[in-house]
Amino acid sequence: MTSVCKWTPRAHVVLLILVVTLTIGLGGCTTMKSEPASEGPSSLSREEAAAESRQFSERIARLVPGYEDDLFTENERGSTLGCQLGGVTWTRGFHVRLQGPPDMEVLSRILRDDLREETDFTVEDTQASTGDPRIIVTGPGGQSYMIEWFMGELDIDSFSRCFVLVPERDGYQWEF
């Protein structure tokens, strides 16, 4: 008996998220330049970390040439990944639907200009394993934003500052 597996776009995204999560979690690559805060995890709640990440991701999206409010969406759910001293980082994907891929060099310059006064942020031009351009924005608390064109959308994958997950305050991992 032969079985056929049909890969939907959603299945590809789920697989990509799984691969990225495992790669980062196992330390298989260093695409995320994270500068951990020397004092350990922050006192943020998961809700505060999520709000901070969303706000900055939306700030990035608004700088994209051709951006319009109704083109910005976010993944329905997020998740946590381990980070320094027993803390976690809140991760969530955001998307900007555009007619075609933006000029990533131009976007990188725009991001650098926008963050010029905020010297604790870095903007790094890198490449995905496919050779496609990728931009990494890293903040003072180790938060990171990975920006790349993927499956017809500009993806902004956010990783919050490291914080301690308190289930009574933040909820349990399986609830996210």
pLDDT over 90 at 9, yes or no: no
Name the pTM for this structure.
Answer: 0.74
Q: In the structure, what pLDDT confidence band is assigned to residue 148 with cuts at 50, 70 and 90?
A: very high
CA dist., res. 52 & res. 140, Å (int): 13
Of the chain, the percentage scoring pLDDT greater than 90 comes to 53
Domains and CATH numbers, the chain: 43-175 (3.30.2030.20)
Alpha-carbon torsion (23, 7, 79, 131), positive or negative: positive
83-125 pLDDT tens trace: 877 899 999 999 999 989 999 999 999 999 999 998 899 999 9
CA dist., res. 173 & res. 152, Å (int): 30
Write down the pLDDT at residue 118.
87
pLDDT over 50 at 140, yes or no: yes
Alpha-carbon torsion (115, 50, 23, 88), positive or negative: positive
Residue 160 and residue 144 in contact, taking contact as beta carbons nearer than 8 Å = no
pLDDT over 60 at 25, yes or no: no
Write down the pLDDT at residue 51.
95
125-137 pLDDT tens trace: 999 988 999 999 9
